[in-house]
Amino acid sequence: MNKNFANNVYNFCDDLFSQFLQEFEGKEVGVEGLQKSDIMNYFFEGYVPGEKVKKEKKVKKEKKEKKTRKLSGYTYFGQQNKDDFNKEIKEIHESSGEKVKFIKFQSEKWKALSEEEKNEWNDKAKAINEENEENEE
């Protein structure tokens, strides 16, 4: 037997017997008013064997409003060129049979940009972020 389980059973029985002795002290068990059913009803009031025990419903936590992430130049670049990238990916797949993942394709296109072009996309994304912040307020 598991030591922890045995300890819990022992403590439960100790509490149960202590309550029993306190409640029924000086009374004779087996006489009217102190039958087994009376004792069981005292300790397990309202419980009928075989019935499902109703579980208490958990209180749902309130959902926090999620803050939208700020756009980066990279994500804005991908959003604005999504249709073009998908067309190119489709053409590659039809011509060579190679399946190219969108993110990989986008990252290759981003890496091919010059620093000036990347900065332009970052500036555009920054302007959109500022516009969105103003609209939220």
Which tens digits make up the pLDDT trace of 78-108? Answer: 999 999 999 988 888 888 888 889 899 899 9
SS3 of the chain: CCHHHHHHHHHHHHHHHHHHHHHCCCCCCCCCCCCHHHHHHHHCCCCCCCCCCCCCCCCCCCCCCCCCCCCCHHHHHHHHCHHHHHHHHHHHHHHHCCCCCHHHHHHHHHHHCCHHHHHHHHHHHHHHHHHHHHHHC
pLDDT tens track, the chain, 137 positions: 688 888 888 898 888 888 878 887 777 777 777 787 777 877 777 777 777 767 788 888 888 887 778 889 999 999 999 999 999 888 888 888 888 898 998 999 999 999 999 999 999 999 988 888 887 76
**Global pTM value:** 0.50
